A and B are shown apart, each in its own frame.
Chain A
Amino acid sequence: MMDDLRELYQEVILDHSKNPRNFRHPADANHEAHGYNPLCGDTVNVYLKMGHNGLIEDAAFEGKGCAISLASASMMTDIIKGKTETQAKEIFAGFQKLVKGEENEFDAGEDTERLMMLAGVKEFPMRVKCATLAWHAMSSAMDDKPEISTE
């Protein structure tokens, strides 16, 4: 029974969920979005500071959620810092395919290994929204759509 659960709840995931990185509201954020999963009531606010050069200078989040959504938000904010908008969205597109089980190949350069930790989600279709909530919010924040709801 426990194999795919162990795969889902790896040490790294649990660590990120218990001690989420970038869990704060930066005063100088210039893009933000509120993500909401009406199914479970989980919420996440994603804050971005986009530089003039199109680089994400800072990324942070606050919210309430399960281990999967917190870990995913925590990793995401770490990973997208220093990337361009296009790069962040490309990683999101690939990541989404990965957790939905649509593609096994996943290449996000140096971040591949870290994000692969969340690949276990593909065995749990009901949890895909948990893993992608913060990413949807990040993408909406860039597009200046302040609310997103995963339905």
Chain B
Amino acid sequence: MNDMTTFDVEKIRRDFPIFAREVHGKPLAFLDSGASAQKPQVVIDTMRRAYLETYANVHRGVHYLSQVSTELYEGARETIRAHMNAASVEEIIFTKNATESINLVANSYGWANLKPGDEIILSTLEHHSNIVPWQLIAEKTGAVVKAVPIDAHGEFMLDKYLDMLGPKTKIVAVTHISNAIGTITPVKEIIDAAHDAGAVVLIDGSQAAPHMKLDMQALDADFYVFTGHKVFGPTGIGVLYGKAEMLEALPPFLGGGDMIERVTFAKTTYAKGHSKFEAGTPPIVQAIGLGAAIDYVNAIGFEKIGAHEQALLAYATEQLQSINSLRIIGQAKHKAAIISFTLDGVHPHDIGTIVDRGGVAIRVGHHCAQPLMDHFDVAATARASMALYNNRADVDALVASVKSVQEIFG
């Protein structure tokens, strides 16, 4: 049980150079990892080394550096494959971010398969990037977008979902963890039920990847996406996992170099596997950086990270709840370390500005989840999102600065 003794958060904080700095003369309490996470030294060093020592384009040359660069890039792909427990590296596509991954599937799969009246099922929890691409393709194909409702706690309503599934359902695209309120959805049940109905499933794992071990073969999703910068990697790199047989049947999304087999003006044939979907020079160094980030979290271990974050979530929930007139939005049974809240009579923007002066970085606004905000009848919330490097002092700083908001607003 006392494995926690080997999880030393103070040691982990020293791996992240940003925590050496102060903000507004205060220690930085960074509680905005849900928007983008900080980077450990090893990621920065790995990327720096890739530029300084091994940089060249990939897949395009016989010279030494091109070979080394290709090995590092493809090595990162293998790291991601192992991390996701995908069956093959051919199932791992590098993109620019989660948004591009979702757009890729919406366009490729949608164009090839959607007919007027077909249904795309999303949920009220979704980030705009798992809504808008589907609306765009629905508009062009005549398909219809529907959203599974959530209950008052912010829980995905499985029974309602099961009722919505039917012969018209072609695609189910649901988040693994809500970025705005932290709800962990019952992805396994969602996926199995969709498959029983003959639909394909995309899971948006953008918020799951920083908090839990992924297992594609156990989960059995057809597509799974996440974004590098939220898992302590750089920006400009995202991942799309697609089951091999799915990818094979899918037409390309972007056309260009690297994704072809043979080009003539009469007819072009496409590369196989992940290459078909990686047109043009990829984000080489970003992929290598993401590989380093994934190695970093796996060396610590998600069991320990999860236990640490859940303990912190419980502490933060208890501390925040003790504040008068503070309301936590979203109280699902299974939550990641994300807490959205409002304060009576104070707009979240004012909360954000005031706590910032205390060195506390939180996100305020609609969190790119306006349908979810509408569900709770708020325009915006304040959100504290935690990661492996957060400690109780961060939570204490948040609580103290929320109290100073109340002082100012009287």
Contacts and interface: CB of A to CB of B under 8 A. Distances in A.
Interface of A: 1-2, 4-6, 8-9, 14, 18, 39-43, 64-68, 124, 126-127, 130
Contact of B366 (A2, A4, A14, A41): A41
B353 A124 contact: yes
Given A1-B357, A64-B379, A126-B353, A41 B365 contact: yes
Nearest to A127: B353
A66 B350 contact: yes
A5 B380 contact: no
Interface stretch (B206-214, B241-249, B402-410): B402-410
Interface string B322-347: 00000000000000000000000111
B344 to A, nearest CB: 12
B82 interface: no
Contacts of B350: 9, 66-68
A127 B349 contact: yes
A1 B25 contact: yes
A9 B404 CA distance: 12
A41 B349 CA distance: 11
B140 interface: no
Given A66-B349, A66-B350, A1 B379 contact: no
A4 B364 contact: no
Contact of A66 (B24, B347, B404): B347
Contacts, number: 59
Contacts of B357: 1-2, 4-5
A103 B379 CA distance: 33
Contact of A2 (B379, B380, B404): B404
Nearest to B409: A14
Contact of A40 (B358, B365, B410): B365
B373 interface: yes
Nearest to B365: A40
| B25, B346, B347 pick with most chain A CB within 10 angstroms | B347
4 closest pairs, A vs B, by CB?
Answer: A66-B347, A66-B349, A41-B366, A41-B379
Contact of A8 (B345, B346, B353, B373): B353
B123 interface: no
A115 B111 CA distance: 55
Nearest to B404: A2
B160 interface: no
Nearest to A8: B353
A135 to B, nearest CB: 17
A4 B358 CA distance: 12
B347 A67 contact: yes
B380 A41 contact: yes
Contacts of B354: 5, 9
A65 B380 CA distance: 10
Contact of A130 (B26, B345, B349, B380): B349
Given A41-B370, A68-B350, A124-B353, A18 B379 contact: no
A67 B353 CA distance: 11
| B346, B373, B408 pick with most chain A CB within 10 angstroms | B408
Contact of B380 (A14, A18, A40): A40
B353 to A, nearest CB: 6
5 contacts: A9-B350, A40-B365, A42-B349, A65-B347, A124-B353
A101 to B, nearest CB: 16
A66 B410 CA distance: 15
A43 B24 CA distance: 30
A7 to B, nearest CB: 11
B25 to A, nearest CB: 7
Interface string B349-371: 11001100110000011100010
